Chains A and B, each alone.
Chain A
Amino acid sequence: MNGVHDMGGMHGFGPVVPERNEPVFHAEWERRAFALTLAIGAWGRWNLDMSRFAREQMPPADYLGSGYYEKWLFGLEKLLVEHGFVTREEIERRVADLRAERRAQTQPEPAREAE
């Protein structure tokens, strides 16, 4: 597909700046996203080219603003939903639960903002 991922020859993104001593993962969730993708891939329900195609179908504006493993996670979620492992609603519910948990941990007294 003539998607935004096919960026060869496009201008305006600035120079490629290599990161010195770049770590394999920049955050713990990236490590998990990578491992989940490989482990679930071992089920054999889809192949590597299907995984790449799934990532390419990220909405273009999201694609340009996302990091490498965000694209992997998008592709994994898309394939998991399409193959009936989970529903989109289950993913959204879990995200909402985790967000609420985090909010409860980091903002114990939100009412103070109103003072």
Chain B
Amino acid sequence: MPGLLQAADVWKRVVWNRRAARLDDDVAPRFKPGDRVVARNVHPVGHTRLPRYVRSRQGVVDRDHGVFVFPDTHALGLGKKPQHVYSVRFAARELWGPAAPANDAVYVDLWDDYLDQA
């Protein structure tokens, strides 16, 4: 068990540690930029970073951010479950209906486990 937090350790133990959501694990991506995906319609009772407003909606993978800790399992102490995170582009009309501006879009960072092929 760590003892007193010393001023000299603050950077390493407090600040640096909080950047450690990115992982070096060699995990294959399930999707690539340009792939059409659909966000899963799931309602986990624990922590999730899958917003309600994208569930069941279709989008396109814009970028692959790399491999990160999966928040849903990590928040419950069930492990880091390393996986790719993508910036997924959702057209505003897909999310908010025909009254939304035609050219608007929302980019949401989503983990592999939140997505299926559309």
Contact status B52-A50, CB under 8 Å = no
Contact status A44-B74, CB under 8 Å = no
Q: Does A17 contact B (CB under 8 A)?
A: no
Q: How many residues of B contact A (CB 8 A)?
A: 28
Contact status B47-A52, CB under 8 Å = yes
Q: Does B14 contact A (CB under 8 A)?
A: yes
Chain A residues near B13 (CB-CB < 8 A):
42
Q: Does A101 contact B (CB under 8 A)?
A: no
Given A2-B43, A49-B69, A53-B46, verify A9-B14 contact (CB < 8 Å): no
Chain B residues near A56 (CB-CB < 8 A):
47
Contact status A53-B52, CB under 8 Å = no
Q: Which of B2, B15, B17, B51 is within 8 Å of A8, CB to CB?
A: B51
Q: Does B8 contact A (CB under 8 A)?
A: no
Interface residues in B1-29 (C-beta closer than 8 Å to A): 1-2, 5, 9-10, 13-15, 17-18, 21
- Chain A nearest CB from B22 CB (Å) reads 12
Chain B residues near A24 (CB-CB < 8 A):
none
Q: Does B98 contact A (CB under 8 A)?
A: no
Chain A's closest residue to B17 (CB) is: A42
Q: Does A43 contact B (CB under 8 A)?
A: yes
- Chain B nearest CB from A74 CB (Å) reads 15
Given A42-B2, A43-B2, verify A6-B51 contact (CB < 8 Å): yes
Centre residue among A39, A48, A50, A56 by max chain B CB count within 10 A: A48
Q: Does A1 contact B (CB under 8 A)?
A: yes
Chain B residues near A53 (CB-CB < 8 A):
46-47, 75-76
Chain B residues near A44 (CB-CB < 8 A):
2
- Chain A nearest CB from B5 CB (Å) reads 5
Residues on A facing B (Cβ under 8 Å):
1-2, 6, 8-9, 38-39, 41-44, 47-50, 52-53, 56
Residues on B facing A (Cβ under 8 Å):
1-2, 5, 9-10, 13-15, 17-18, 21, 43-48, 51-53, 69, 71, 74-77, 95-96
